[in-house]
Structure 1
Amino acid sequence: MADAFDVVVIGGGPAGENAAGRTAAGGLSTALVETERLGGECSFWACIPSKALLRPPEVHWMARHSPGVRESVKGPLDAAKVLARRDEMVHGYDDSSQEKWARGAKLEVVRGHGRLAGPRKVAVTLRDGSTRELTARRAVVLATGSRARIPDIPGLREAHPWTNREGTGAKSVPRRLVVLGGGVVAAELAQAWRGLGAEEVTLVQRGPTLLNRLEPFARELVEKSLRESGVTVRTKAQATRVHRAGGKGEVTVTLDTGETLRADELLVALGREVATRDVGLETVGLTPGKPVEVDEQLRARGVEGGWLYACGDVNGRNLLTHMGKYQARLLGDHILGKQVEAWADQRATPQIIFTHPQVAAVGLTEDEARERGLPVRAVQVGLDSVAGTSLLGDGYEGAVKLVVDEKRRVLLGATFVGPEVGELLHSATIAVAGEVPLDTLWHAVPAFPSVSEVWLRLLEAYGL
Structure 2
Amino acid sequence: MSEEFDVIVIGAGPAGENVIARAARGGLTAAIVEESLVGGECSYFACIPSKALLRPVELAGEAARAPGLSPGPIDAAAVLARRDEVVSHLDDTRAAGALKTVPATLYRGRGRIAGPKQVEVALTDGGTALIRARHAVVLATGSTPIVPPIPGLAEAEPWTSHEVTAVRTVPRRFAVLGGGAVACEMAQALHGLGATETTMILRGGSPLRRMEPFAGRLVADAFTASGIGMRTNTQVTKVERPVRNGEVTIHLTDGPPVVADELLVATGRVAATADLGVEAAGLVPGEPVEVDDSMRATGVEGGWLYAVSDVSGRNLLTHMGKYQARLCGDVLVARAKGQPEDLPGMRDTATRYGAPQVVFTDPQIGTVGLTEEEARSAGYHVRAVEYDLGAVSGAYLREPGYQGRAKAVVDEARQVLLGVTFAGPGVAELVHSATIAVTAEVPLERLWHAVPSFPTVSEVWLRLLETYGL
TM-score range, shorter chain: over 0.9
Determine the C-alpha separation between the residues in 1 that align with 2:258 and 2:399. Answer: 37
3-state SS, counterpart of residue 115 of structure 2: coil
Determine the C-alpha separation between the residues in 2 that align with 1:111 and 1:394. Answer: 53
Within the candidate set 79, 82, 89, 1:85 is matched to: 82
Aligned runs of 1:326-345 on 2, under 5 Å? 326-337=323-334, 338-339=341-342, 340-345=346-351
Determine the C-alpha separation between the residues in 1 that align with 2:255 and 2:66. Answer: 43
Does 2:119 correspond to 1:113?
A: no
Determine the C-alpha separation between the residues in 2 that align with 1:145 and 1:407. Answer: 38
Deviation at 1:259, TM superposition (A): 2.1
Residue 47 of structure 1 is matched in structure 2 by: 47
Aligned runs of 1:69-148 on 2, under 5 Å? 69-70=69-70, 73=71, 75-148=72-145
Residue 11 of structure 1 is matched in structure 2 by: 11
Structure 1 unaligned regions, length at least 5: none
Residue 446 of structure 2 is matched in structure 1 by: 440
Residue 430 of structure 1 is matched in structure 2 by: 436
Deviation at 1:247, TM superposition (A): 2.3
Within the candidate set 167, 170, 180, 1:170 is matched to: 167
Q: Is the 8 A contact 1:317 1:346 kept in 2?
A: no
Q: Percent identity?
A: 57
Deviation at 1:251, TM superposition (A): 0.9
Residue 402 of structure 2 is matched in structure 1 by: 396
Stretch of structure 1 that moved more, 47-56 or 387-396: 387-396
3-state SS, counterpart of residue 246 of structure 1: coil
Within the candidate set 340, 347, 355, 1:349 is matched to: 355
3-state SS, counterpart of residue 117 of structure 1: strand
TM-score with structure 1 length normalisation?
0.98
Residue 25 of structure 1 is matched in structure 2 by: 25
Aligned runs of 1:272-421 on 2, under 5 Å? 272-337=269-334, 338-339=341-342, 340-421=346-427
Stretch of structure 1 that moved more, 99-108 or 2-11: 99-108
Deviation at 1:258, TM superposition (A): 4.9
Residue 62 of structure 2 is matched in structure 1 by: 62
Determine the C-alpha separation between the residues in 2 that align with 1:306 and 1:160. Answer: 41
Determine the C-alpha separation between the residues in 1 that align with 2:459 and 2:148. Answer: 45
Deviation at 1:387, TM superposition (A): 1.0
Determine the C-alpha separation between the residues in 2 that align with 1:164 and 1:7. Answer: 31
Deviation at 1:267, TM superposition (A): 0.6
Once superposed, what is the RMSD of the aligned Cα atoms? 1.0
Deviation at 1:209, TM superposition (A): 2.5
Stretch of structure 1 that moved more, 30-39 or 382-391: 382-391
Deviation at 1:35, TM superposition (A): 0.4
Q: Is the 8 A contact 2:183 2:266 kept in 1?
A: yes
Determine the C-alpha separation between the residues in 2 that align with 1:277 and 1:384. Answer: 48
Within the candidate set 184, 193, 196, 2:193 is matched to: 196
Deviation at 1:243, TM superposition (A): 1.1
Stretch of structure 1 that moved more, 302-311 or 60-69: 60-69
| 1:352-387 CA-partner distances (Å, limit 9, x unpaired) | 000110000000000000001101111110112211
Deviation at 1:78, TM superposition (A): 0.6
Q: Is the 8 A contact 2:364 2:423 kept in 1?
A: yes
Determine the C-alpha separation between the residues in 2 that align with 1:178 and 1:132. Answer: 44
What amino acid maps onto 1:330 in structure 2? Answer: L
3-state SS, counterpart of residue 52 of structure 1: helix
TM-score with structure 2 length normalisation?
0.97
Determine the C-alpha separation between the residues in 2 that align with 1:260 and 1:216. Answer: 28
Determine the C-alpha separation between the residues in 1 that align with 2:244 and 2:286. Answer: 27
Stretch of structure 1 that moved more, 143-152 or 388-397: 388-397
Determine the C-alpha separation between the residues in 2 that align with 1:378 and 1:123. Answer: 52
Q: Is the 8 A contact 2:387 2:464 kept in 1?
A: yes
3-state SS, counterpart of residue 233 of structure 2: coil
Aligned runs of 1:200-279 on 2, under 5 Å? 200-279=197-276
Stretch of structure 1 that moved more, 215-224 or 256-265: 256-265
Deviation at 1:348, TM superposition (A): 3.2
Q: Is the 8 A contact 1:115 1:123 kept in 2?
A: yes
Q: Is the 8 A contact 1:344 1:433 kept in 2?
A: yes
| 1:137-161 CA-partner distances (Å, limit 9, x unpaired) | 0110001110111111111111111
Determine the C-alpha separation between the residues in 1 that align with 2:63 and 2:199. Answer: 26
| 1:266-304 CA-partner distances (Å, limit 9, x unpaired) | 111111011101000111111111111111111111111
Deviation at 1:200, TM superposition (A): 0.2
